[in-house]
Amino acid sequence: MERPAWAPRGIDISVPSVSRIYDYYLGGSHNFEVDREAARRAMEFMPGLPKVMQANRAFLRRAVRFAAAEGIDQFLDIGSGIPTFGNVHEVAQSARPGARVVYVDHDPVAVAHSESVLAGNENADVVTADLRKPREILASPRLQRLIDLNRPVALLLVAILHFVEDQDDPYDAVAELRDALAPGSLLVLTHASYEGIPLPPERAGGAVDVYKDIRNPLIMRSREDIARFFEGYDMVEPGLVPMPNWRPDPASEDEDPYSYSGFAGVGRTA
């Protein structure tokens, strides 16, 4: 198997990674054949998966613009994945020059590519860490250089929590991060769910099984279970809704039924 020049040394390119699969769905080039194969297998059950990912990215950009308009100039994006066009630092820094952005991911390809994209950008950085260990994220010198936790922060958990199993205490991790944030901070979140998928659950379950097979289980939670992540936050209108329904751009109406799979929301700390 040919190792591309951009692939960091020491990573096993025979094992699929969720961030590289996501990159493939979005039409990116930082993925291996093993990732593309897993993606194609999942798409046999849910052909609309790329649409779901595009809806996630579109929501992320709208939420970042919303946060910037609310006066927030610090962004912490955990599970940020491989940078693509219109990433958080581009959107945030064009809306608020000087905005500070810290990306966090545990995939070496995502981190290496983020470092090359951010080279020369003094107000953005990337941290190698895992959402399941919030203390390590908060203690990172790279985070502490850019993010002042005594001022409001937009915490982005987009398409990441559905990869954290209940036994790994995702609710505790989110609560620990919330408790570290200043009043007026925002939680920006999306999460996969069987609710809204235009397929019977057993068929969509075939795609979920593909993730289980590659040892990155995809945890489908109900709207009620997803809402629990917002404990301690006041929901921003329109609340927890399908992604295209969260403050849509007037010009772009999303008609694709797959875009309505799962939920998106923004909450504010009091």
What average pLDDT does this structure show over 89-111? 96
Residue 189 has pLDDT above 90, yes or no: yes
Q: Any idea which fold 51-201+219-269 has?
A: Rossmann fold (3.40.50)
Residues 6 or more apart whose CB falls under 8 angstroms from that of 5 comprise none
| Of 64, 150, 55, 51, residue with least CA distance to 101 | 64
Q: What is the pLDDT of residue 35?
A: 95
Q: Distances in Å between the alpha carbon of 100 and those of 146, 179, 206?
A: 6, 20, 40
* Residue ranges per structural domain of the chain: 51-201+219-269
Q: What is the pLDDT of residue 169?
A: 97
Global confidence as pTM? 0.95
Average pLDDT, the chain: 95
Give the whole-angstrom CA distance, residue 6 versus residue 111. Answer: 11
3-state helix, strand, coil in the chain (%, to 5): 45, 15, 45
pLDDT digits (tens, 9 = 90+) for 27-49: 998 899 999 999 999 999 999 99
Give the whole-angstrom CA distance, residue 76 versus residue 157. Answer: 9
Residue 65 has pLDDT above 90, yes or no: yes
Element (H, E) at 18: helix 18-25
User: What is the SS3 assignment for 74?
Assistant: strand
Residue in this structure with the two tokens 């502490």, named with its chain if needed: 144
Cα 263-82-91 angle, rounded to 5 deg: 70
Give the whole-angstrom CA distance, residue 151 versus residue 153. Answer: 6
Q: What is the pLDDT of residue 260?
A: 96
Residue 1 has pLDDT above 70, yes or no: no
Q: What is the pLDDT of residue 6?
A: 74
Cα 35-41-44 angle, rounded to 5 deg: 140
Give the whole-angstrom CA distance, residue 188 versus residue 30. Answer: 25
How much of the chain exceeds pLDDT 70, in percent? Answer: 99
Residue in this structure with the two tokens 């009620």, named with its chain if needed: 224
Q: Distances in Å between the alpha carbon of 205 and those of 18, 38, 252?
A: 17, 15, 30
Residues 6 or more apart whose CB falls under 8 angstroms from that of 21 comprise 31, 35, 38, 39, 42
Q: Which two tokens stand for residue 221?
A: 């939670």
Q: What is the pLDDT of residue 103?
A: 98
Give the whole-angstrom CA distance, residue 166 versus residue 156. Answer: 20
pLDDT digits (tens, 9 = 90+) for 148-183: 999 999 999 999 999 999 999 999 999 999 999 999
pLDDT digits (tens, 9 = 90+) for 210-257: 999 999 999 999 999 999 999 999 999 999 999 999 999 988 777 899
pLDDT-derived band of residue 85, with 50, 70 and 90 as boundaries?
confident
What average pLDDT does this structure show over 130-156? 98
Give the whole-angstrom CA distance, residue 98 versus residue 172. Answer: 32
DSSP string, 77-110: EET--S--TT-HHHHHHHHSTT-EEEEEES-HHH
Residue 146 has pLDDT above 90, yes or no: yes
Residue 266 has pLDDT above 90, yes or no: yes
pLDDT-derived band of residue 12, with 50, 70 and 90 as boundaries?
confident
Neighbours of 62 (CB within 10 A): 21
Give the whole-angstrom CA distance, residue 206 versus residue 244. Answer: 25
pLDDT digits (tens, 9 = 90+) for 239-250: 999 999 999 998
Q: Between 2 and 145, whose confidence is greater?
A: 145
Give the whole-angstrom CA distance, residue 229 versus residue 158. Answer: 12
